[in-house]
Amino acid sequence: MTGMMQARRLVVYTLASGSSGNCTLVSDGAVHILIDAGISCRRIVKSLAELGISAQDLRGIFVTHEHTDHISGLQTLSKHFHLPVFAAAPCAAAIAAKAPAAQDVLQSISPEEEICLDSLAVQGFETSHDSAFSMGFTVAGERDKMALATDLGMLTSQVRQAIAGVDLLVAETNHDLNLLRCGPYPYYLKQRISGATGHLCNEDGAELCRHAAFHGAKTVVLAHLSAENNTPDSAYRAVEETFAVNGVEDVTIELAPRDTLSKAYPVGALVRK
């Protein structure tokens, strides 16, 4: 974290990304937040320690929605660290039922409401997903901005507007349509995943990335890849081909690992003190 402290810029790490668990760290070196806590408290604490951060140093956890792969660590985290947990009101109610220890630290927020935590400003935006309520988030530092848009079945005007102008986008590329259609999942689950309140296929994720790139993003991180219905090569190729067809250049494409701590994804241009 020494480099992060010396450079006034946002940095993103994914601690996990996929149907078995999701957790993302956003930090400017002084203020640290998590988006989702869908892996065990032990794994979160261990990953943060590798980055020189104590869980107690976190300023809050922002929850996209209440599915288990996004909140499974909240119960134990809340017991031990009493961190503020921010979520949309319907989502907060569902979280309270699943993670009772979080009730006292839950704070309901509305889409587009800005939450300022010293040098970070966090803002939610509604997404289309089969949960009580689902949001993506943007996080703005002093000079740069990122967005996370995963677990959404379609690209709405709210999503497009929210990600316009970010420097880095964590984007869902959940499944390869052919792999999903020919795979072992039952029909109802295939319909759920590919539906308007499910998950983005690689082509739709690529369009999400293209939109962000056209509005200034210099890095896209492909996330929430299905282990059964996708491959990293397929997701990467879909975005790469969409960029080539649309004349998108000088945008870095990264792949978030499913079950391990990622490398650092710097946001924006390096600014020295």
What is the rounded CA–CA span in Å between residue 66 and residue 44? 18
Q: Mean pLDDT across the stretch 96-123? A: 95
Res. 4: pLDDT tops 90: no
pLDDT in tens, 24-80: 999 999 999 999 999 999 999 999 999 999 999 999 999 999 999 999 999 999 999
52-4-73 Cα angle (round to 5): 45
In this prediction, residue 146 carries a pLDDT of 98
pLDDT in tens, 129-177: 999 999 999 999 999 999 999 999 999 999 999 999 999 999 999 999 9
Please enumerate in sequence order all residues whose Cβ is within 8 A of that of 84, keeping only pairs 6 or more positions apart, or say none: 59, 60, 61, 105, 107
In this prediction, residue 8 carries a pLDDT of 72
Sheet holding 135-140, edge to edge: 114-117, 120-126, 135-140, 145-149, 168-172, 219-223, 252-255
**Domains in the chain, CATH or no CATH each:** 2-258 (3.60.15.10)
Q: Which helix (H) or strand (E) covers residue 169, if one does? A: strand 168-172
Beta carbons within 10 angstroms of residue 260's beta carbon: 12
What is the SS3 assignment for 59? strand
What is the SS3 assignment for 255? strand
Res. 272: pLDDT tops 70: no
Res. 100: pLDDT tops 70: yes
In this prediction, residue 61 carries a pLDDT of 98
255 backbone dihedrals φ, ψ, rounded to 5°: -120, 120
DSSP state string for 47-58: HHHHTT--GGGE
Of 7-21, 90-104, 186-200, 253-267, the least confident: 7-21
In this prediction, residue 66 carries a pLDDT of 97
Residue with tokens 């309270």: 96
Strands 11-16 and 265-266: antiparallel
DSSP state string for 80-147: HH---EEEEHHHHHHHHHH-GGGGGGEEEE-TT-EEEETTEEEEEEE---SSS--EEEEEE-SS-EEE
Contact call for residues 178 and 204 (beta carbons, < 8 A): no
Q: Mean pLDDT across the stretch 187-207? A: 97
Rg (CA), the chain: 17
pLDDT band (50, 70, 90) for residue 269: low
Res. 5: pLDDT tops 60: no
Candidates 151, 167, 74; CA nearest to 159 is: 151
In this prediction, residue 232 carries a pLDDT of 98
Q: Mean pLDDT across the stretch 103-120? A: 95
